[in-house]
């Protein structure tokens, strides 16, 4: 994928032809490093034009895009028609406060609520139900589970998204949840590397600065990534700074130390690395969106997530393309990331083919079944503590 520069005369037609080919090549490759979001519950001509032009690796939908199961499935179908390569169709669906399907299917319990049952079968069932709901609506990627540890410092920010301050307990939940997603043929993603458990600020708005040495991070926050490195198809990088590790306040999402040196080399992670939304305040405090995308990819990242504004998406695509045109080393890094994305899609396609692919939107009966199953699971999670108390009383009598 790397394009070689020629030594043609500056103004020759041949040189101009080579330059146009160079730009076209980089533009097509760069698109496969982007996952983009947009407004609306149907695909407008403007969105259609954007997707056709950029040919992104994926799209991400939020509650603003999701009204009903049928409408969501059709929206994702229309997105795919604009893009030649298979799309990553992505959503954040953790349950609890991060639940994009609440209006379409009903409310899902949070990770912390499910974890509180202490029942690993329910941990897996959580992933299975979330995964089945994703598949029915047309999604193949869920940016979950959260691997951040539930330390007191981040309680007001993370709430019920984090399950435990014990990294081994967090691993126990995440392993089963991921297995549940796989059973539903949905790709999971561990987040937010290297860990927001000690973060007191919300990275959506500000840059959390976590003063924690690598030795403690390695034993605590990084343990889930170390343990699950082969089970995680994707890892999402946080917009938080760790100055005792990097010696500055560079967000982890822009840090070669974190992405290449620690995650890739020391931990040995081999799958896809995705940024958290590059429009978040935590990263924009360090660099404009286009520059942030370049630094993320330069640091070893593969997929840039831009969730909202069209101008930011275009700015990101332009910055990546122009940097690849003038910097051969960066061009090779872009090609490497694109190859990893393509390999991941090929692997996912095999999994999807083995399990079948929905060729029509979910019927009313199917939606009712999914909603009912989700409600029953929520009730099971809610009543589980009372059942344990009853069992204890019986054992004492």
- Give the model confidence (pLDDT) of 107-137 as tens digits: 999 999 999 999 999 999 999 999 999 999 9
pLDDT value, residue 360: 78
Q: What angle do CA 50, 78, 29 make, to 5 degrees?
A: 45
Query: Is there a domain that residue 113 lies in?
Result: yes
| Mean pLDDT within 374-378 | 95
Residue 308 falls within a domain, yes or no? yes
Confidence of residue 152 (pLDDT cuts 50, 70, 90): very high
**Is 309 a residue whose pLDDT tops 90?**
yes
Phi, psi of 87 (to 5 degrees): -90, 145
Between residues 302 and 4, which one has the greater pLDDT?
Answer: 302
| Active site amino acids | 204, 276
> Domain total for the chain?
1
Indicate which CATH number applies to the domain containing 201. 3.20.20.300
DSSP letter, residue 100: T
In a domain, 176, yes or no: yes
Domain assignment present for 5: no
- Yes or no: say if 298 and 255 are a contact pair by the CB < 8 Å rule: no
Higher-confidence position of 325 and 355: 325
Is the model's pLDDT at 319 over the cut of 90? yes
The answer to whether the CB of 184 falls within 8 A of the CB of 135 is yes
pLDDT value at 354 more than 80: no
Whether residue 394 lies inside any domain: the answer is no
Q: What is the domain range of residue 315?
A: 33-386
Mean pLDDT of the region 268-287: 93
Contact predicate 157/214, CB 8 Å:
no
Rounded CA gap, 32 and 83, in Å? 10
7 occurs within a structural domain? no
Q: With respect to residue 22, please indicate whether it lies within any of the assigned structural domains.
A: no
The answer as to whether 250 is a domain residue is yes
């Amino acid at each position: 994928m790397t394009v070689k520069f020629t030594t043609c005369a500056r103004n020759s037609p041949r040189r101009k032809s080579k330059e146009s080919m160079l730009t076209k090549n980089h533009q097509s490759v760069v698109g496969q490093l982007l996952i983009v979001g947009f407004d609306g519950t149907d695909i407008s001509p403007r969105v259609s034009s954007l997707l056709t032009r950029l040919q992104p690796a994926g799209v991400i939908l939020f509650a603003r895009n999701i009204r009903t199961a049928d409408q969501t499935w059709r929206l994702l179908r229309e997105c795919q028609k604009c893009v030649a390569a298979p799309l990553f169709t992505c959503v954040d669906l953790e349950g609890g406060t991060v639940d994009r399907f609440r209006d379409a299917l009903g409310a899902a319990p949070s990770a912390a609520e499910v974890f509180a049952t202490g029942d690993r079968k329910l941990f897996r069932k959580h992933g299975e139900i979330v995964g089945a709901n994703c598949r029915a609506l047309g999604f193949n990627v869920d940016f979950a589970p959260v691997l951040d540890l539930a330390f007191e410092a981040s309680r007001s920010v993370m709430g019920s998204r984090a399950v435990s301050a014990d990294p081994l307990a967090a691993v126990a939940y995440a392993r089963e949840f991921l297995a549940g997603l796989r059973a539903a043929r949905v790709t999971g993603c561990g987040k937010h590397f290297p860990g927001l458990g000690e973060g007191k600020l919300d990275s959506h708005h500000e840059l959390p600065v976590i003063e924690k040495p690598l030795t403690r991070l390695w034993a605590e926050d990084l343990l889930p990534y170390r343990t699950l490195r082969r089970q995680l198809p994707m890892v999402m990088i946080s917009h938080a700074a760790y100055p005792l590790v990097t010696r500055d306040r560079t967000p982890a999402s822009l840090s070669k130390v974190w992405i290449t040196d620690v995650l890739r080399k020391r931990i040995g992670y081999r799958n896809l690395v995705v940024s958290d939304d590059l429009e978040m305040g935590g990263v924009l405090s360090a660099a404009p969106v286009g520059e942030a995308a370049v630094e993320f990819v330069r640091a070893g990242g593969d997929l840039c997530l831009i969730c909202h504004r069209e101008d930011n998406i275009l700015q990101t695509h332009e910055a990546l393309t122009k940097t690849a045109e003038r910097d051969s080393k960066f061009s090779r890094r872009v090609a490497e990331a694109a190859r990893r994305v393509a390999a991941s899609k090929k692997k996912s396609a095999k999994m999807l083919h083995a399990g079948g692919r929905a060729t029509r939107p979910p019927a009313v009966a199917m939606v009712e079944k999914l909603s009912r199953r989700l409600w029953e699971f929520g009730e099971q999670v809610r009543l589980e503590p009372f059942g344990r108390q009853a069992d204890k009383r019986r054992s004492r009598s």
